[in-house]
Amino acid sequence: MNLNTVWFILVAILFTGFFFLEGFDYGVGILMPFLGRNDLERRGIINAIGPVWDGNEVWMITAGGALFASFPQVYATLFSGFYLALVLMLVALILRGVAFEFRGKREDKGWRTLWDWAIFTGSLLPALLWGVTVANLMSGFAIQQDMNYYGGLLPLLNPFAIMGGLVFVSLFILHGANFLTLKAPDEIAQRARKVAWPAWIVATILTVVFVLWTFFATDILTKPGLNGLLPAVLAALALLGTGWLVRHAQGGWAFVTGAITIVFATVMVFTGLYPRILISTLNPDWSLTIINAASSPYTLKVMTIVAAIFVPIVLAYQGWTYWVFRKRVEARPEKLTY
């Protein structure tokens, strides 16, 4: 296995971790205005993710940094071609982070309601746009011979991509509901458990449609050799298991299998892409791969040494953080900080 493949796998792992961890963050933010019936309950919901949400977002920054360092041409093409979508995502994430900090600065009900809906918007929009982005990676887009995309935002908002966005939103809502059954105060956890079942039905329907569409519209599941069919089957089995567990009020295991669904779905995408990273719909030879878009061998070697040292440290620290804040949030004002 050469370093190009190693870094492709590492980037895939970073994005997988991001969707798994930030997925329930987004889901909690989307559900918060609906499950929290008063300010105390909404603060309880926010505090369920309070200690970890900003750490979860670091996975996105790290994944982007790893992509820039290992496959700079992919970074350039992706972040320039998807510029408007990424700016919208960035604005939403900034709004979300500000809302977490600002909502508790005043006792005014209108003030807090405003920031509650800012959290909702700042969670929904990135979830949708990430789904749109991933769907475009799967189907490909009009990359020119110079490895650039000039089509703008509208061609990227095609029906297949929009469906991908809806799948992401539905899976993240399900993931967030299962997380709240573990971490939120008891009364809110009961509401989250009731929401999880219809959320699972919607997510399953959208996912089935999207996977069938993927089968016929792309080669992610059908290309010769290595493809995403096996991870797709494993993701489907995990999703079915999640529904059974939700129905039988097994919130902890439902969260685990929901996480496995997201993990295998992400693995499906990267496995189906390999060795490509960005697919050109104009000419397959113009696609960006782990070979023609990679950094120099020396750069990859140095980065591998650095990653081998620091990645385990970061993982250990984040694991310790989750262990420290593993208990359920209590619905008492003195226990809530946001």
pLDDT tens track for 216-225: 999 999 999 9
pLDDT at 77 over 80: yes
Q: What is the mean pLDDT of residues 183-191?
A: 90
Q: Are 222 and 143 in contact (CB under 8 A)?
A: no
- pLDDT tens figures, 3-41: 999 999 999 999 999 999 999 999 999 999 999 988 888
Average pLDDT, the chain: 91
In this prediction, residue 331 carries a pLDDT of 60
As a whole number of angstroms, the distance between CA 47 and CA 49 comes to: 5
**Cα distance between residue 172 and residue 53, in whole Å:** 14
pLDDT in tens, 194-246: 999 999 999 999 999 999 999 999 999 999 999 999 999 999 999 999 999 99
Q: In this predicted structure, what is the pLDDT of residue 333?
A: 56
pLDDT of 52 higher than 60: yes
Say how far residue 79 (Cα) sits from the centre of its chain: 17
Nearest to 7 by CA among 325, 298, 304, 328: 304
Percent of the chain with pLDDT over 70: 97
What is the structure's pLDDT at 233? 96
Interhelix angle 186-217/109-139, rounded to 10 degrees, is 20
**Residue 335: pLDDT over 50:** no
pLDDT of residue 79: 87
Average pLDDT over residues 135-159: 91
* pLDDT digits 0-9 by tens, 283-333: 999 999 999 999 999 999 999 999 899 888 888 988 898 888 888 887 655
Kindly tell me the burial class for residue 58, based on how many C-beta atoms sit within 10 Å of its own C-beta (0-12, 13-18, 19 or more): middle
Residue 206 confidence (pLDDT): 97
In the predicted model, what is the mean pLDDT of residues 76-105?
90
Among residues of the chain, what percentage have pLDDT more than 90? 70
Residue 337 has pLDDT above 60, yes or no: no
pLDDT over 50 (residue 334): no
